[in-house]
């Protein structure tokens, strides 16, 4: 696509939880309380579709954030992302409430079996008319491991090794039925052509899976693949497999470099960089005037508590931050032992300028659990659009994953004030094209 023809990919970053990415969101007076009902997710889906979002995407973690102080008590008391429901029922309900919106969910390659994941997403994709996407994650902490009968999480690079083979199995199964395999001819009595169905017979290091796969191909062939690895190993994995990649970039300069590096990795993997979209997570707080937007931002920022940050840092880095004092520097051994999202550790080292940052540095420079975790764009629709345009045309991204400061208000505001402004500038599509998410 020519530079001038590029348009943004827009994704809603959702949680089937008691709060959004922003843990304090549940304390916001405008937050809807019916997050354990299907109607809640259907309402959000309709808002996103009205705004022509390409995709609604759910993240996931298979445990509470209970690494901090080795206890769930404060996380539960303070509602720090502790309710986490399965995503497939939510996606199904959202699919029934919409016609074009893409619907994506996170499933782990470390704790699930490939045949199972292949079947769940192939079924969703068939039944949603080719709108399903799978966010491939390798999971990250010991709490998840404990819920699946293991003492600790598999080492970082081993998780990716398992994930590579997992993808071979899933994609192999997704190719088991040719597009024209189904005959369904009552006259001849032929249901499907067995010559057009094959068995995978996979025997690898991590998995054995025979087949034949039991779900025919969907309108888009197979679900869209999303990935969000940010380490060198993670980026190579994403460059090899993903159609859409999510990242966390601290600022525009980091994003510009990261974007270039990622596109180079895609080319090195023998794929076309223009076809793999990269979208950083962001927050947007918008209002009719700049001062309305700034007042909203101050109010939302005030909802956060220190426990939000400490619980979520411990969770994502797989390190108990309660074992250290606030101004204690991390030793080299401790930094090396961080086995969760290493990109957050690296960001803290880089932005603090310290080889041995403290707990306070981690809280400040990761922004975890706060609005500063992702780039925050505050202002009128036009002011926010200016900033998104600056990132998009740098180029530092192909679109955005919009995290919500509260639900569903953050999406309503974006759809009402920012999306029309982006459309006026030709940066965002006027309507859905094609029949499938792909």
Ligand X SMILES: Cc1cc2nc3c(=O)[nH]c(=O)nc-3n(C[C@H](O)[C@H](O)[C@H](O)COP(=O)(O)O)c2cc1C
Contacts of 97 by beta carbon, 8 Å cutoff, 6+ apart: 42, 43, 45, 46
Q: How far is the CB of 83 from ligand X (least distance, A)?
A: 15
Tell me whether residue 200 or residue 266 sits nearer to ligand X (CB atom): 266
Contact by Cβ (8 Å): 54, 437: yes
Omega prior to 395 cis, within 30 of 0 = yes
Q: How far is the CB of 312 from ligand X (least distance, A)?
A: 12
Distance CA 198, CA 178 (A): 9
Burial class (CB in 10 A: 0-12, 13-18, 19+), 54: buried
Tell me whether residue 156 or residue 222 sits nearer to ligand X (CB atom): 156
Q: Is 230 in the site for ligand X (CB under 6 A)?
A: yes
Q: How far is the CB of 291 from ligand X (least distance, A)?
A: 31
Q: Is 234 in the site for ligand X (CB under 6 A)?
A: yes
Q: How far is the CB of 109 from ligand X (least distance, A)?
A: 10
Q: Is 138 in the site for ligand X (CB under 6 A)?
A: yes
| Residue ranges in 238-277 that form contacts with ligand X under rule CB under 6 A | 246-248
| Residue ranges in 309-338 that form contacts with ligand X under rule CB under 6 A | none
- Interacting residue with ligand X among 218, 342, 366, 405 (CB under 6 A): 342
- Interacting residue with ligand X among 56, 140, 304, 417 (CB under 6 A): 140
Q: How far is the CB of 18 from ligand X (least distance, A)?
A: 16
Q: What is the DSSP letter of 377?
A: E
Tokens of 239: 């460059």
Q: Is 236 in the site for ligand X (CB under 6 A)?
A: no
* Candidates 131-139, 255-263, 290-298, 356-364; binding stretch for ligand X (CB under 6 A): 131-139
Q: Is 139 in the site for ligand X (CB under 6 A)?
A: yes
Burial class (CB in 10 A: 0-12, 13-18, 19+), 389: middle
Contact by Cβ (8 Å): 208, 115: no
| Residue ranges in 41-80 that form contacts with ligand X under rule CB under 6 A | 59-61
Q: How far is the CB of 229 from ligand X (least distance, A)?
A: 3
Q: How far is the CB of 273 from ligand X (least distance, A)?
A: 19
Tell me whether residue 143 or residue 286 sits nearer to ligand X (CB atom): 143
* Candidates 30-38, 135-143, 258-266, 303-311; binding stretch for ligand X (CB under 6 A): 135-143
- Interacting residue with ligand X among 281, 311, 402, 415 (CB under 6 A): 281
Residues in contact with ligand X, counted by CB under 6 A, come to a total of 23
Collapsed DSSP state (helix, strand, coil) of residue 379: strand
Collapsed DSSP state (helix, strand, coil) of residue 192: strand
Distance CA 195, CA 319 (A): 52
Tell me whether residue 45 or residue 401 sits nearer to ligand X (CB atom): 401
Long-range contacts of 247-252 (CB under 8 A, 24+ apart): 247/278, 247/279, 247/280, 247/281, 248/280, 248/281, 248/343, 248/344, 248/347, 248/373, 248/374, 249/280, 249/375, 249/396, 249/397, 250/347, 250/351, 250/375, 251/375, 252/375, 252/390, 252/391, 252/394, 252/396
Which secondary structure element, helix H or strand E, spans residue 400, and what is its range? strand 399-403
Sites of contact with ligand X (CB under 6 A): 59-61, 106, 137-140, 156, 228-231, 233-234, 246-248, 281, 341-343, 401
């Amino acid at each position: 696509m020519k530079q001038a023809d590029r348009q943004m990919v827009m994704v809603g970053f959702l949680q089937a939880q008691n709060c959004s990415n922003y843990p304090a969101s549940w304390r916001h007076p405008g937050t809807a309380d019916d997050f354990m009902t299907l109607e809640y997710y259907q309402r959000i889906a309709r808002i996103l579709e009205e705004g022509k979002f390409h995709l609604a995407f759910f993240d996931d973690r298979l445990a509470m954030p209970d690494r901090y102080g080795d206890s769930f008590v404060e996380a539960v008391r303070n509602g720090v992302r502790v309710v986490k429901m399965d995503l497939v029922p939510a996606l199904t309900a959202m699919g029934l409430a919409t016609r074009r919106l893409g619907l994506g969910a996170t499933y782990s390659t470390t704790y699930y079996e490939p045949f199972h994941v292949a079947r769940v997403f192939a079924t969703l994709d068939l039944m949603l008319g080719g709108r399903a996407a799978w966010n491939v994650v390798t999971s990250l902490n010991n709490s998840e491991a404990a819920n699946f009968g293991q003492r600790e999480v598999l080492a970082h690079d081993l998780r990716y090794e398992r994930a590579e083979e997992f993808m071979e199995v899933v994609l192999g199964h997704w190719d088991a039925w040719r597009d024209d395999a189904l005959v369904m001819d009552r006259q001849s009595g032929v249901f499907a052509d067995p010559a057009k169905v094959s068995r995978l017979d996979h025997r690898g290091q991590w998995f054995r899976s025979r087949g034949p796969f039991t779900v025919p191909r969907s309108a888009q062939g197979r679900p869209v693949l999303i990935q969000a690895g940010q380490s060198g190993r993670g980026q190579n994995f994403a460059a090899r497999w993903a159609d859409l990649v999510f990242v966390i970039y601290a600022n525009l300069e980091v994003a510009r470099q990261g974007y270039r590096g990622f596109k180079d990795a895609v080319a090195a993997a023998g794929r076309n960089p223009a076809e793999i979209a990269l979208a950083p997570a962001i927050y947007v707080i918008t209002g009719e005037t700049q001062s309305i937007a700034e007042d909203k931002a101050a109010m939302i920022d005030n909802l956060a508590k220190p426990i939000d940050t400490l619980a979520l840092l411990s969770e994502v880095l797989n390190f108990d931050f309660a074992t250290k004092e606030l101004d204690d520097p991390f030793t080299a051994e401790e930094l090396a032992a961080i086995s969760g999202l290493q990109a957050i550790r690296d960001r803290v080292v880089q932005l603090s300028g310290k080889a041995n940052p403290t707990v306070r540095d981690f809280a400040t420079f990761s922004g975890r659990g706060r609005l500063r975790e992702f780039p925050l764009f505050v202002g009128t629709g036009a002011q926010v659009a200016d900033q998104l345009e600056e990132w998009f045309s740098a180029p530092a991204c192909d679109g955005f994953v919009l995290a919500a400061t509260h639900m569903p208000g953050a999406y309503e505001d974006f759809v009402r004030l920012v999306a029309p402004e982006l459309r006026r500038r030709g940066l965002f599509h006027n309507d859905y094209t094609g029949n499938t998410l792909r």
